[in-house]
Structure 1
Amino acid sequence: MARVLIAGESWMTISTHVKGVDEFSVHSYVEGVGPLKNALEAQGHEVVHMPAHVVPMAFPGSAEELATYDAVVLSDIGANSIQLAPDVFEKFIPGQDRLAALAQWTKDGGALVMIGGYLSFSGFQARAAFRNTAIAEVLPVDMLSEDDRWELPAGLTAQVEQPEHKAIGSAGTDWPLLLGYNRTVLKPGAELVASINGDPLIALSETGNGRSAVFTSDCSPHWAPKQFCEEWPGYQEIFGGIIDWVTKKV
């Protein structure tokens, strides 16, 4: 089975409590990686989670470092967090172009997956900012230049274009509602496995000797409600199938 690096899927929150003339701040740390990590481990994969606050210091920046993994998953982590290592951003010392290294590693036979969120693809106010990076070359979709979030507060189900595709295992066609996704455009020659609202949901592509895939909605709340990511057996089939496909296990 595959050794998978998941970068992102964590966040810190600062809330201010005002009580009369007094106020104080409360800080909390949350990880949203649980459903995805559990699903992949249940399929036999080894998962290494790199939380968002660790990414600027520790994300692999060379082919040698990336070679310790079979697949890299970017989930709700923006391009700046990967590119702006502390030495670059705080000390103005030239460093590694880690997204260029990741793109080249993918072309050379690696396996890359991007999962949707407020800091995926173009993202909230286009702050995820992957569109003008080397990663854009190797994904199966083109990204928008503006805020690409499409909120679906009433929920919408996916349209499974290829029910028998190995990338979704035995998930079938009756999927729970999703509450949003990142809008993208399918590239010519890429493979559309599932769509939502007429846009790509699961898309795949061969890129050089490697493979890439996208799931443009979320792997955890809020876009992926509990009925999708915790209660539905198809969730494990989808993400296990995507990893198996990009790592050429199927």
Structure 2
Amino acid sequence: MKSELSVLFVGESWFMHTIEVKGFDTFTFSGYDEAVEWIQKAIETSGHRFTHIPSHEVSKRFPATLAELQKYDVVLVSDVGANTFLLSPDTFLRSKRTVNKLALIAEFVKHGGGFGMIGGYLTFQGIEAKGNYKHTIIEEILPVELMEGDDRVELPEGVELTMSEAALPWLEGMPEKWPYILGYNRLKAKEDANVLISNGKDPIITIGSYGEGRTLAYATDCSPHWSPLEFCEWEYYSLLWDRLITSLAQSDRVN
């Protein structure tokens, strides 16, 4: 029987404040939203536990010790920038020393944990490089090198993905043809990395190792807009994330 894994998912949430102008008059409205429903369903359908920390709760809820973090098998970060992990209120507002949560993630992986970064406007480098993970410990542990500036590749016309034979040991049961995506973060695979899916020379799904653990660079999104509903609601979406989660947790049979 397949073992249940515990996944900590961070990000995919945002507040918005909008100003509308209608002739002479203006008005504002605010709101909050999340886009975790598709990946949460995919992971839970596969029989794993899913814990979500929205971006604005990272400073309070993200584990502050290795022991706390090791309660999870896999940590996934999606569309939340490096500053959110590095600049807690205690550091930014009160000039106090606090835990470097990016370094803590690296320690978690070094001791056998699984870590994945999922693409978006505030991961890897992202829009105007505001993700800001270049030259951090996270770039060191990922199986890819990051660009220096804005790394987005916008593809409004869409591009279909094709799985190569090299991906089969990792993505067993997945079909050759995949739905289209509308963009991704441009990355460069490291020499010892395993590129499972690519678009030309650009790696889309890459797996590597750091210390005793494994890491994943998933260059496109796990929700719209880069991953349209055709992808997020694809019949193989749950299987895809089950394969990736078990690989990161080293519950698979791939050497």
Question: Do both proteins adopt the same fold according to a TM-score greater than 0.5, normalized to the shorter chain?
Answer: yes
Distance (whole Å) between structure 1 residues aligned to residue 223 and residue 172 of structure 2: 20
Aligned to 1:148: 151
Distance (whole Å) between structure 1 residues aligned to residue 158 and residue 166 of structure 2: 21
1:52-91 equivalences under 5 Å are 52-91=55-94
Q: Of 119, 130, 151, which aligns to 1:127? A: 130
Residue 2 in structure 1 maps to residue 5 in structure 2: yes
Instruction: Please report how far the alpha carbon of residue 147 of structure 1 lies from its aligned counterpart in structure 2 after TM superposition.
Output: 0.4
- Where 1:176 maps in the other structure, the secondary structure is strand
* Paired residues of 2:195 and 2:203 also in contact (CA < 8 A): yes
Distance (whole Å) between structure 2 residues aligned to residue 9 and residue 168 of structure 1: 25
* Paired residues of 2:196 and 2:206 also in contact (CA < 8 A): yes
Q: Segments of 4+ in structure 1 off by > 3 A?
A: 19-22
Distance (whole Å) between structure 1 residues aligned to residue 149 and residue 180 of structure 2: 25
1:101-180 equivalences under 5 Å are 101-162=104-165, 165-180=168-183
Distance (whole Å) between structure 2 residues aligned to residue 237 and residue 106 of structure 1: 24
Structure 2: gaps spanning 5 or more residues:
none
Structure 1: gaps spanning 5 or more residues:
none
Q: What is the TM-score when the length of structure 1 is the normalising length? A: 0.96
Q: Of 98, 103, 122, which aligns to 1:100? A: 103
* Paired residues of 1:61 and 1:102 also in contact (CA < 8 A): no
Number of aligned residue pairs: 249
* Paired residues of 1:163 and 1:172 also in contact (CA < 8 A): no
Aligned to 2:42: 39
Aligned to 1:223: 226
Aligned to 1:196: 199
Distance (whole Å) between structure 1 residues aligned to residue 87 and residue 61 of structure 2: 11
Q: What is the TM-score when the length of structure 2 is the normalising length? A: 0.94
Distance (whole Å) between structure 1 residues aligned to residue 53 and residue 170 of structure 2: 24
Partner letter of residue 158 of structure 2?
G
Instruction: Please report how far the alpha carbon of residue 202 of structure 1 lies from its aligned counterpart in structure 2 after TM superposition.
Output: 0.7
Any idea what the Cα deviations from partners look like across 1:77-99, whole Å, max 9, x if unmatched? 10001111110111111111110
Distance (whole Å) between structure 2 residues aligned to residue 179 and residue 157 of structure 1: 9
Distance (whole Å) between structure 1 residues aligned to residue 203 and residue 167 of structure 2: 17
